[in-house]
Structure 1
Amino acid sequence: MAAPARRWIFQVHLWSALTVGLVLLLMSLTGALLVFRPELDPVFNRDLFAVAPGGAPRTLDDLVVAAQQAHPGAKVDYVRLAREPGATVQVAFLDKQVVFLHPATAAVLGRRGRYEGFFGRCEQWHRFLLLGSVGLFIVRAGAMLTALVLLTGFYLWLPPVLRVLRTGLTLNFKLKGRAWHFNLHKVAGFYAGVVVLGSALTGLPQSFDWLQHGTYQGWGAAPAAELHSTPPAGPAHPVALQAWLDQARRLAPEAGALMIYLPRKPDAPVEIFATERAAAHENARSYLFLDAYSGAVLRWTPYAESPAGVKFYLTALSYHFGQFGGWAGRLILLAGMLAVPILAVTGLAMFLQRGRARSA
């Protein structure tokens, strides 16, 4: 590419980075803190997540009633059940409060808001910058600008000839000043950029519904038909919640985790997500929809039979949360997030040094 065009791309890279830098830094640091949340949260809050194994489990109806008594006046959103011995049952409400229960006694172990506690605050910073809808808009714009910064950075990283490719892949500790900052920026940007770009791009479908649906359809997944429960004539009473759970376990006997979403409208179906113990990643979900009143199966889609678009989106979701590739995947994502401060510091240092050189 001609030198003028390269200079123009450099300007786009520079000013986009200066614009989004602080947001990217906050998102990366909070993202790094959240990578091992699934392992660390139960360790630091064992009283909420673990009980002594043993005893026959109470029915789902008993558990939901106990949670409602502990948090009266709020409407249940979903129930999360895990098959691991000693795991607690989590009943989440629409107001973002979660009640933790003993599966065998229905005893309430505690209550916590989704954005409470250390990791909850980190998630709130990561998603909203503690600014609500305004913060969500800033994060969305920041994710798109981050992708622009990284893509232009990759182009600028490319050496003019392949003979000097090695200089962009290795650190040169003999360099000083601006040359050292430039070398460190290029090397860290190459290795971390792929990870951070993947995280930014996989975060976008979670922020924009139209992009999520576009991802589905772009990979060949036709929009699914809308499903409805059929309220009976006369007084409408859904079947026992336990019947929903029994149906899910019949269809997904190897499920390690179940998420049961209660209907929000009289004609809405019951939605159940099931993830098998041996799943490829933690969001490799099978989807079950039930009639809330009869318990009849409206649609059952095992993960293996899901359209490519759905599989792509769920895999991207796992990548973004560090739930893909086991411990190695999480460590790679953590390293990528922790490299962002290096890019920010070296980039800002070069910008300031460049300004001083011009004014000298």
Structure 2
Amino acid sequence: MHRWVALAVGLFVFLVSLTGAALVFENQIDRVLNSRLFYVKPQGERLPLQQLLERVRSTYPENRVTSVRLAEGAGLSYQFQLSKRITVYVEPYTGQILGTRSMEQWEVGLARRLHLLHTRLMAGQTGERIVGVISFLTAFLVVTGLILWWPACILTFRRRGSWKRWNSDAHYALGFYTAPIALVMAVSGVIIAFGDFADPLIDRLNAEPPPARPTRVASTSNDRPISLDEASRIARETLPGAALVLLAFPEGARPIVAQMKYPEDRTPAGRSRVFLNPYSGELLLVESARQAGLGTQLHNLKRSLHTGDIFGWPTRILYLIASLILALLWVTGMFMWWPAFRARRKNRLAQRATVRETIGERGH
């Protein structure tokens, strides 16, 4: 079963593993390839958010600005999202517009294509389901591989012996050491791919359902929205210790949403939210990752468990190595299977030849 499943989906596992290894550096790849948009030289204090917003509005008056993503570090730009699916990159110290990138340009970038190839095989929702099945079968290969490893308990490569022996030892030993991380990646991949089925089950682990998020607020024609700096101040005071990642300010009487990130939250956008009345600054709802129910905590963990972000760079490097080894296991497995396949095929042909000769002799 281990052999035939590996032969059936091994090439897909190889592809998903290699792209997964590359995606450990997804953000870094995108930034390096678009360095003029992302990297800036730190110089003093950053300008107020509202001032940067007005600069973007005056530069692109035909567009409505819908959100701003703050920089993760001192040497990175701010990203203002426009209503026409365009991102404007701004130097936060001087307000200089570094450039723009449309959603279409982002979609064809290398980092995004690697992401879509890994998660959906470039085939939309159907591809995501296929990747989910591949993840499930990868988990099956890990478990059956451990069962096959157990009798011999091979932990190292033998220095002496043929290349076949060395290849076999490598397959068993590397598979054993990689198994825990590979199993976590595979199971979390199944949960993510089949979220329509898994998420409602995880939600049931909450003691009570989370409160509904506000979508509208009362307003009058005289109401003026608060500044982004005021919204930023309220959000930071509401969740002290959490960094502000993004401010979304939809059009009309809709709440401002501040996405917040605690130090222990390794996901890029953070898992905490603060909803504000855009005119009064009143708190409408607070979603703190530190006070979330069990089900919500599992939702928050599944991505970082899958990507290796769970404990930062140490686990990301481990996941990188594990992904590369998973791809290598397909190669070593093929080298184990092919000589045996050729030998069996040769024996079957020889047996058939012997049978034909025997039949021929009896005929004479």
Give the TM-score category using the shorter length. 0.7 to 0.9
Q: Distance in 2 between matches of 1:74 and 1:123?
A: 29
**Which of 199, 211, 214 lines up with 1:212 in the alignment?**
199
TM-score (norm 2): 0.78
Q: Which residue of 2 aligns with 1:270?
A: 256
Question: Shift of residue 186 of structure 1?
Answer: 1.5
The AA in structure 1 aligned to 2:128 is L
Contact 2:216 2:254 in 1 (8 A): yes
TM-score (norm 1): 0.79
Q: Distance in 1 between matches of 2:89 and 2:83?
A: 15
Gaps of 5+ in 2: 347-364
Shift in CA distance, 343/69, structure 1 to aligned 2, threshold 3 Å: farther
Q: Which residue of 2 aligns with 1:3?
A: none
What is the root-mean-square deviation in Å for CA atoms of aligned residues? 3.3
Counterpart of 1:136 in 2: which secondary structure? helix
Tell me whether 315-324 or 216-225 shows the greater mean CA deviation: 216-225
**Which of 266, 282, 307 lines up with 1:281 in the alignment?**
266
**Which of 117, 132, 135 lines up with 1:125 in the alignment?**
117
Q: Percent identity?
A: 30
Contact 1:147 1:200 in 2 (8 A): yes
Counterpart of 2:98 in 1: which secondary structure? strand
Question: Shift of residue 52 of structure 1?
Answer: 2.7
The AA in structure 2 aligned to 1:121 is R
Question: Shift of residue 274 of structure 1?
Answer: 0.9
Q: Which residue of 1 aligns with 2:361?
A: none
1:141 correspondence with 2:130 = no
Q: Distance in 2 between matches of 1:75 and 1:152?
A: 55
The AA in structure 2 aligned to 1:354 is A
Shift in CA distance, 194/289, structure 1 to aligned 2, threshold 3 Å: same
* 1:1-360 pair list within 5 angstroms: 11=1, 13-39=2-28, 41-43=30-32, 45-54=34-43, 57-64=46-53, 66-67=55-56, 78-82=67-71, 84-92=73-81, 97-112=86-101, 113-159=105-151, 164-165=152-153, 167=154, 169-176=155-162, 178-207=164-193, 208-218=195-205, 220=207, 222-232=209-219, 239-263=226-250, 269-276=255-262, 278-279=263-264, 281-282=266-267, 285-360=271-346
Shift in CA distance, 42/158, structure 1 to aligned 2, threshold 3 Å: same
Max Rg structure: 2
Shift in CA distance, 301/119, structure 1 to aligned 2, threshold 3 Å: same
Counterpart of 1:218 in 2: which secondary structure? coil
Contact 1:25 1:340 in 2 (8 A): yes
Counterpart of 2:309 in 1: which secondary structure? coil
Contact 2:244 2:258 in 1 (8 A): no
Q: Deviations over 1:256-293 (max 9, x none)?
A: 441223448x66543322113x4363466332122345
Q: Which residue of 1 aligns with 2:356?
A: none
Q: Deviations over 1:191-237 (max 9, x none)?
A: 12222221222233433244234334336563433433223256887
Q: Distance in 2 between matches of 1:232 and 1:347?
A: 65
Q: Distance in 2 between matches of 1:212 and 1:70?
A: 42
Q: Distance in 1 between matches of 2:200 and 2:312?
A: 28
Question: Shift of residue 187 of structure 1?
Answer: 1.3
Shift in CA distance, 217/66, structure 1 to aligned 2, threshold 3 Å: farther
Shift in CA distance, 96/176, structure 1 to aligned 2, threshold 3 Å: farther
Shift in CA distance, 37/170, structure 1 to aligned 2, threshold 3 Å: same
The AA in structure 2 aligned to 1:211 is A
The AA in structure 2 aligned to 1:189 is G
